Amino acid sequence: MSEEKKHDGLSRRSFLKGVGGGVVGTAVLTSSRRTSAAEQYGDVVGPDAVEITLNVNGQKRTLTVDPRVTLLDALRDQLSLTGSKRVCNKGQCGACTLICNGRTVLACSMLAIDADGADVETIEGLKTGDQLHPVQEEFIKNDALQCGFCTPGFIMSSVALLRKNPSPSMEEIKYAVSGNLCRCGTYPHVFKAVHDAAQAMKKGG
């Protein structure tokens, strides 16, 4: 009774109970009836291609893209930077995570034309010469990868974290990669790898 009042008649408990059906905390479901192929697939071919310039891993690259092409597909298909992966293509899994103007972005959910002029860092750009980045090294040492399909996304999220916060707590590490999904179940080894990388980077100055 008092609980109901506290929450203006809609308590968190009654909301969660109402959601039902086994979907955690998400009241809005996605699919609905479609009536034709046209409706199913929509019109995705845009107007004429445009030229954009990206500063990718320190190199200036000019490319011509259909305005509807995502940054992810442009990097993969036009620049052969296939390290970033497409898994959900709608911002739900983190497999396409890269660093754009110093911030992590989901490249599947950003149009290439919106990245015009931006500094883009991908997994391929983390190495210095032949030397892997400490985060990459620790991912290998701790076996923070299995099939490895999610790995580039996890590494980019981790690198971004350590730039902002060189001594993260375990909780901060978990939070930083909480937007990255891994089906093989590498999470515990990822946490350890990021923790160890932070230590190694401190030692390495």
Partner 1 sequence: MAPWKELKEMTLLNKEVTRVDGALKVAGTAIYTYDVQRPGLLYGRILRSIHPHAKVLSVDTSEAEALKGVKAVLGKIKDEVNFVGDDVAAVAAVSEEIAQKALSLIKVEYDVLPFTVREQQAKKEDAPRVFSGRENNLGRSNENSEGDVEKGFQEADAIVEHMYHMNVQVHTPLESHGCVCEWRGDDLYMWDSTQGVHGTRSGMARALEIPENQIHVITHHMGGGFGSKFGPKSYNVVCARLAKKAGVPVKLMLDREEEMLAVGNRPSSWQKIKIGAKSDGTLTAFEMESFGTGGVGGGAGVPQPYIYHFPNWKVKHQDVHINAGAAEPMRAPGHPQANFAMESAMDELAEKLGIDPLEFRIKNDPNETRQQEYKIGAKKCGWDNRKPSGSQTGEKLIGMGVGSGTWGGGGNRRTEAIVNIYPDGAVDVKIGTQDIGVGTWTIVASVLAEELELDLADVKPFIGESDYPWAPNSGGSTTAPSVTPTVKLAAEAAMAKLIELLAEAYETTPDKISYAKKTFTLTESGEKIPWKKACAALDGKAVSEKAQWGEGLSSSGTAGCQFAEVEVDAETGRVKVKRLVAVQDCGLVVNMLTARSQVNGAIIGEIGYVLFENRLLDNDTGIMQNADLENYKIPGALEMPEFDVTFYDEHERGVIGLGEPPAIPGVGAIANAVANAIGVRFYELPITPDRVLLAIDKRKEGTS
Choices 36-44, 111-119, 159-167, 196-204; region in contact with partner 1 by CB under 8 A: 36-44
* Count of beta carbons in the 10 Å neighbourhood of residue 79: 17
Query: What's the gap between Cα 5 and its chain centre?
Result: 40
Q: Which of 1, 5, 9, 40 binds partner 1 (CB under 8 A)?
A: 40
Distance CA 68, CA 190 (A): 34
Q: Which of 121, 189, 195, 198 binds partner 1 (CB under 8 A)?
A: 189
Nearest to 89 by CA among 102, 112, 67, 73: 73
The 8-class DSSP code of residue 111 comes to B
Q: Are 155 and 97 in contact (CB under 8 A)?
A: no
Q: Which is nearer to ligand FES, 11 or 78 (CB)?
A: 78
Subset of 105-164 contacting partner 1 (CB under 8 A): 122-124, 126-127, 132, 136-137, 139-141, 143, 145-152, 155
Query: Residue numbers of the site for ligand FES (CB under 6 A)?
Result: 86-89, 91-96, 106, 108, 145-151, 182-184, 186
